[in-house]
């Protein structure tokens, strides 16, 4: 194991610099203590003296040493000054790392968060033009021009879907998490259950989920809130038996949680969990968007990653969805799967485009702790073939836009190959509203079920509180009473 030792003065610099350091040295363990056996030493000091900020750093890697010192004037006070000090610190460290490695360490500059578009929407709220935003991203946050332009394009595409403060106070979305799968994919770190006995495993979970729907349904009705979107995720929610699906939908309707809904999505990533009769039932229950997620259309890769289906199964299932009449299909692709390169990416995309799904979501492989992939190949996989992954992502993006698909939402993850992003594309008029609301965090989302995240948004300042239910079905059931009490309290506090 290779070690990178950080020596920081003051120690709280860690929160500003550690993500940039991790991006620069993905194979190293970062240590905040002085380590005599470290392979790399990075020392950073920051001092504020009156209206001046002084930063000094030294990075030593073997016999190679890089040093940088900067002095910045500060002419502001309070919280605004704190934010500026944070930005300047990250710019300083970013420049040191780029200088030492002789390359751009991050196309997103000093932005390392999951939701970079939130920053753009904040500036748009303030009345900034897209031209001003582009300049600010490149000059103040060190983004590459093509990345800044992509963010501005996506912000422009999803801006019309964001609600005013008044609307956001009245509307919510609901996420329902079903934390069961028929098998575990090679790259998956989700600790949900592999379903081996439906009665023993699923029935107790569903009893708790019904209780949660009842309690939160009463609260939502009491507050006069309107549900805009319902999203069934997991796990694999299509693993539910038809009678259980129907009873859950009927319970939602009983509490008037579906009467104002305009979009209902069900994730059905595995075609082996669907049948024509189940699809007909979903259509009758009001589902108007379904996710059929191949990840790749290469049979060899599908077998390797444990998907349990073939490309032919995907093609047949898409046709069944079309026959039933569910109007919007999303298909997920993952770029960077083991053994794949440009030839496979191009072939997969060509096959997907023949199916003409309304939504295509392009993911870059994230090597997550706890996955069999990470255990087998470790951190090395995070940067191997990074250039080819980036080329694949860019090729797919260009091709999709040539075929009338427009990018409409974006998010990033830690441990992604090539340090790129996940982007959702849609044909005109076919954007997924839930994805936009969830990513831009402009609407309260009530998470029900195992592993479900709730986002309580205060429209007065767009501040946010997150609550997450346990992913393990048994833990979810055991902790449900306290989770319900917290959700009810948080929701009532906003109204």
Query: What is the SS3 string spanning 394-447?
Result: HHHHHHHHHCCCEEEEEECCCCEHHHCCEEEEECCCCCCHHHHHHHHCCCEEEE
If one compares 78 and 177, the residue with the highest pLDDT of the two is 177
Distance, in Å, from the CA atom of 312 to the CA atom of 302, rounded to the nearest integer, reads: 11
If one compares 182 and 99, the residue with the highest pLDDT of the two is 99
Look at the chain and count its residues. 495
State the virtual CA torsion across 365, 397, 324, 275 in degrees, nearest 10. -20
pLDDT beyond 50 at 326:
yes
Q: Residue 140's pLDDT band (boundaries 50, 70, 90)? A: very high
In degrees and rounded to multiples of 5, residue 6 shows phi and psi of: -105, 130
Please compute the mean of the pLDDT values over residues 66-75 and round it to a whole number: 94
Instruction: Answer yes or no: are the C-beta atoms of 116 and 109 closer than 8 Å.
Output: no
Q: Residue 374's pLDDT band (boundaries 50, 70, 90)? A: very low
Q: Which tens digits make up the pLDDT trace of 187-210? A: 565 555 788 899 999 999 999 999
Instruction: Answer yes or no: are the C-beta atoms of 277 and 242 closer than 8 Å.
Output: yes
Question: In the chain, what percentage of residues exceed pLDDT 70?
Answer: 93
If one compares 113 and 353, the residue with the highest pLDDT of the two is 353
Please compute the mean of the pLDDT values over residues 384-410 and round it to a whole number: 91
Instruction: Answer yes or no: are the C-beta atoms of 351 and 312 closer than 8 Å.
Output: no
In sign, the C-alpha dihedral spanning 271, 277, 280, 285 is negative
Instruction: Answer yes or no: are the C-beta atoms of 426 and 408 closer than 8 Å.
Output: yes
Radius of gyration of the chain (CA): 24
Residue 250, Cβ density class (10 Å: 0-12 exposed, 13-18 middle, ≥19 buried): exposed
| pTM higher than the cut 0.85 | yes
**Average pLDDT over the chain, rounded to an integer:** 91
Q: What's the pLDDT score for residue 84?
A: 93
Q: What's the pLDDT score for residue 188?
A: 62
Among candidates 386, 382, 385, 372, which has minimal Cα distance to 415? 382
In this structure, of 50-64, 177-191, 344-358, the range with the lowest mean pLDDT score is: 177-191
**Range of 85-99, 176-190, 298-312, 353-367 with top mean pLDDT:** 85-99
Please compute the mean of the pLDDT values over residues 225-229 and round it to a whole number: 98
**Which residues are registered as beta bridge partners of 197?**
none
**Which residues are registered as beta bridge partners of 177?**
233, 449
Q: Which tens digits make up the pLDDT trace of 3-24? A: 999 999 999 999 999 999 999 9
- In order of 259, 284, 292, 466, 479, the CA distances from 487 in angstroms are 22, 31, 31, 10, 12
Residue 437, Cβ density class (10 Å: 0-12 exposed, 13-18 middle, ≥19 buried): buried
- In order of 110, 241, 363, the CA distances from 139 in angstroms are 11, 54, 28
Q: Residue 184's pLDDT band (boundaries 50, 70, 90)? A: low
pLDDT beyond 50 at 375:
no
Distance, in Å, from the CA atom of 169 to the CA atom of 69, rounded to the nearest integer, reads: 48
Using DSSP's 3-state secondary structure scheme, residue 231 falls into strand
Instruction: Answer yes or no: are the C-beta atoms of 208 and 482 closer than 8 Å.
Output: no
């Amino acid at each position: 194991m290779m070690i990178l030792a950080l020596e920081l003065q003051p120690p709280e610099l860690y929160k500003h610099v550690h993500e940039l350091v991790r991006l620069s040295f993905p194979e190293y363990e970062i240590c905040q203590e002085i380590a005599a056996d470290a392979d790399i030493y990075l020392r950073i000091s920051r001092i504020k003296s009156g209206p001046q900020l002084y930063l000094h750093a030294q990075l030593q890697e073997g016999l190679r040493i890089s040093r940088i010192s900067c002095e910045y004037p500060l002419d502001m006070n309070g919280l605004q000054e704190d934010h500026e000090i944070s930005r300047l610190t990250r710019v300083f460290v970013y420049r040191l790392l780029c200088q030492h490695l002789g390359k751009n360490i991050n196309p997103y500059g000093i932005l390392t968060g999951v939701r970079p578009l939130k920053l753009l929407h904040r500036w748009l709220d303030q009345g900034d033009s897209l031209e001003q935003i582009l300049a600010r991203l490149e000059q103040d946050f060190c983004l590459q021009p093509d990345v800044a332009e992509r963010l501005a394009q996506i912000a422009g595409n999803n801006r019309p879907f964001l609600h005013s403060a008044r609307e956001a106070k009245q509307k919510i979305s609901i996420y329902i998490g079903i934390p069961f799968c028929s098998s575990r994919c090679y790259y998956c770190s989700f600790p949900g259950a592999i379903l081996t006995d439906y009665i023993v495993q699923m029935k107790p979970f569903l009893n708790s989920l019904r209780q949660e729907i009842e309690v939160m349904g009463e609260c939502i009705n009491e507050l006069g809130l309107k549900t805009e979107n319902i999203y069934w995720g997991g796990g694999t929610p299509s693993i539910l038996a038809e009678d259980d699906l129907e009873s859950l939908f009927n319970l939602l309707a009983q509490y008037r949680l579906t009467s104002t809904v305009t979009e209902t999505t069900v994730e059905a990533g595995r075609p082996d969990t669907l049948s024509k009769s189940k699809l007909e039932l979903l259509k009758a229950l009001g589902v108007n968007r379904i996710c059929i997620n191949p990840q790749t259309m290469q049979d060899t890769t599908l077998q390797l990653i444990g998907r349990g289906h073939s490309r032919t199964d995907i093609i047949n299932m898409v046709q069944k969805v079309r026959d039933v009449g569910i109007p919007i299909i999303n298909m997920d692709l993952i770029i960077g799967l083991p053994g794949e390169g440009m030839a496979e990416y191009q072939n997969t995309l060509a096959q997907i485009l023949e199916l003409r799904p309304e939504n295509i979501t392009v993911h870059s492989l994230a090597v997550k702790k706890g996955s069999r992939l990470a255990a087998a190949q470790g951190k090395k996989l995070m940067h191997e073939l990074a250039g080819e992954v980036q080329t694949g992502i860019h090729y797919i993006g260009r091709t999709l836009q040539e075929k009338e698909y427009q990018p409409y939402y974006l998010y990033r993850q830690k441990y992604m190959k090539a340090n790129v992003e996940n982007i959702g594309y849609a044909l005109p008029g076919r954007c997924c509203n839930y994805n936009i609301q969830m990513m831009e965090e402009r609407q309260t989302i009530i998470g029900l079920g195992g592993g479900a995240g709730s986002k309580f948004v205060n429209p007065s300042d767009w501040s946010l509180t997150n609550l997450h239910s346990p992913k393990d079905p048994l833990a979810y059931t055991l902790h449900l009473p306290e989770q319900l009490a917290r959700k009810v309290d948080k929701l009532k506090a906003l109204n």
